[in-house]
Amino acid sequence: MSHKPSEELHNLARTQWAALQETLQERSLKPKERLALPQQEMPSQDPLERRCNMHEVALGYTEEQARIEAERCLQCPTAPCVAGCPVAIDIPRFIREITEGNYQKALGVIQETSLLPSICGRVCPQEVQCQAPCTVGKALKDTFASVSIGRLERFVADRAAGSSPAPQVKPETGRRVAIIGSGPASITAAADIRREGHAVTIFEAFHKPGGVLVYGIPEFRLPKRIVQDELATLEAMGVSIVPNFLVGRTRTLKQLLEEDSFDAIFIGSGAGLPKFMHIEGENLVGVFSANEFLTRSNLMKAYNRDEAATPIFEAPVVAVLGGGNVAMDAARTAVRLGAQEVHLFYRRTRAEMPARAEEVDHAEEEGVIFHFLRSPTRILGDQDDRVQAIEVLEYELGEPDESGRRRPVAVPGSEYTVPVNAVIVSIGNDSNPLLTATTPELETNRWGNIVADESGQTSMDRVFAGGDIVLGAATVILAMGQGRAAAQSINTMLCENHQT
């Protein structure tokens, strides 16, 4: 998909909106007319310019674009989009408010079930969640032609930024809840628990709160000021955030419950232990996990060489291994850090990539070179044990595996080498074993994830869990859904205990 200049999209939307307004002043649109409205493209920075900066790529809808896109919604009585949203936002209702120009009311509808609209509107994969069952997309036989729910969510959140009051909090109950981690699951749980009047303390291992939203997602995709604004809302509600506090080392779960008198604990510490391929050469100088590479750039601002003290490895030719959103983030960050070439290797085809199509498009526009049906067999080094090249094996697709994607099958004898100076491994994460290692009462599965039921209850009394620590590496909105479910269970438990 070729990039269109923002001004061109703005001018086109002004013309379309002017024509549409004339019709709307006379009557409502018929369903066929709504289906005929053009989906509004997201304005974005020019690829050649954004390659050299960390500013946000997607620039957001103009008011005209948002109004046109909102008019595409059919306001289906069955609202299949709501069923596709892990936190059940009343999507038709907030879109209807946009069509009437009530942006603050639209935001209020979203905030009934989500405290993070600015974040979710940017990073959630709506195309496989709320937009997947959209009637518009089905009618047009194209999921990517569905109503752009995420972009509309971002529009109202950005439009009302700073003007929305913190959610109301009920009278204090005297109950205390500890939240482990400060990512999306924890933020959601903290907000819902605090609304009920319980005291909430978030314990964060890093020196800055925000979890994966801060250390994992680059500035050009999610500006950190937005995360800080959301955390400020929590603090305005009365939530306490304690950084540099590693639960399992600073204090154990048992100590929090038995000595520090917390009535319940929610664990939302995420999945931060990177996986490696276990191939020859992974210990060479110049091989990094995507976690370390992105944390240095995102959290420690290593890209800001004039002000940041954190070093980051600079290489002219970089190889990124993987096909998910984190791989795209790593590849696009490497471009911005000055790599002359960035090669991404994925052992299936583009159609099977788990990364969002939009992120893949952006990476291609920025010059990332994709190698599909390829995977490295070993990393080669020079006499100083520095990365010199990777050996790559070709694949072809076989029968589908348990994920439903066609299984990659190696082509014997197809190995070849590609000269590179650095390798970033981005093939997923496991749960950090520290917390479970110091708490044998917590049941885990074979991948090290905490076992929790649908309500978030773990094998340990009064301890709940949700997000990536339970699901494995998942999406922001799925983590939020689990945080919400656990918060409801905790609130119910505390209410029942209070009554007895």
Contact 74, 135 (CB under 8 A): yes
pLDDT band at 254; cut points 50, 70, 90: very high
Structure tokens at 264: 């319940």
Query: Is the pLDDT assigned to residue 500 strictly greater than 60?
Result: no
Asked if residues 363 and 323 have their Cβ atoms less than 8 Å apart, the reply is: no
Portions of the chain given CATH number 3.50.50.60: 176-272+431-497, 273-428
Contact 160, 97 (CB under 8 A): no
Short-list 122, 123, 100, 120, CA closest to 110: 120
- pLDDT tens digits for 79-95? 999 999 999 999 999 99
Domain with CATH 1.10.1060.10 in the chain: 6-160
Q: Which amino acid is at 149?
A: I
Reply yes or no on whether the pLDDT at 251 is more than 70: yes
Residues above pLDDT 70, as percent of the chain: 99
Average of per-residue pLDDT across 119-145: 94
Q: Is the pLDDT of residue 138 over 80?
A: yes
Across 53-74, average pLDDT: 97
In terms of Cα–Cα distance, which of 382, 112, 408, 428 is closest to 274? 428
Residue (of 65, 149, 71, 156) closest to 107 by Cα position? 156
Q: Give mean pLDDT, residues 392-418.
A: 93
Which value, to the nearest 10 degrees, does the dihedral of the CA atoms of residues 228, 230, 235, 240 take?
-80
Residue 133: pLDDT above 80?
yes
State the pLDDT at residue 401: 85
Class of domain 176-272+431-497: alpha beta
Q: How confident is the model at residue 483, as a pLDDT?
A: 95
CA-wise closest residue to 426 among 244, 249, 288, 227: 288
CA distances from 262 to 83, 192, 209, 352, 463 (A): 35, 17, 21, 45, 10
What band does 452 get if pLDDT is binned at 50, 70 and 90?
Answer: very high
pLDDT at 167: 85
Closest by CA to 118, choosing from 31, 281, 229, 13, is: 229
The pLDDT value given to residue 499 = 65
| Paired residues of 176 in beta bridges | 199
The fold for domain 6-160 equals Fumarate Reductase Iron-sulfur Protein; Chain B, domain 2 (1.10.1060)
For residue 115, what are the CA distances in angstroms to 21, 157, 188, 488?
A: 32, 10, 7, 15
Predicted local distance difference test score (pLDDT) of residue 271: 86
CA gap 451, 444 in Å, rounded: 5
Reported as a single tens digit per residue, the pLDDT across 319-377 is 999 999 999 999 999 999 999 999 999 999 999 999 999 999 999 999 999 999 999 99
| In the block, residue with structure tokens 């069952």 | 133
The two tokens of residue 464 are: 């709940």
CA distance 208 to 322: 28
192-218 residue pLDDT tens: 999 999 999 999 999 999 999 999 999
Q: b/e map of 246-258 (b: 16 or more CB within 10 Å)?
A: ebbeebebeebbe
Given a cut of 60, is residue 1 above it in pLDDT?
no
Report the pLDDT value the prediction gives residue 403, as an integer from 0 to 100. 78
* The pLDDT of residue 436 is above 90: no
pLDDT at 305: 83
CATH of the domain spanning 273-428, picked from 3.40.1360.10, 3.40.50.2000, 3.50.50.60, 3.40.630.20: 3.50.50.60
pLDDT at 423: 98
pLDDT above 90 as % of the chain: 84
Q: Report the pLDDT value the prediction gives residue 498, as an integer from 0 to 100.
A: 67
The pLDDT confidence band at residue 70, using thresholds 50, 70 and 90, is: very high
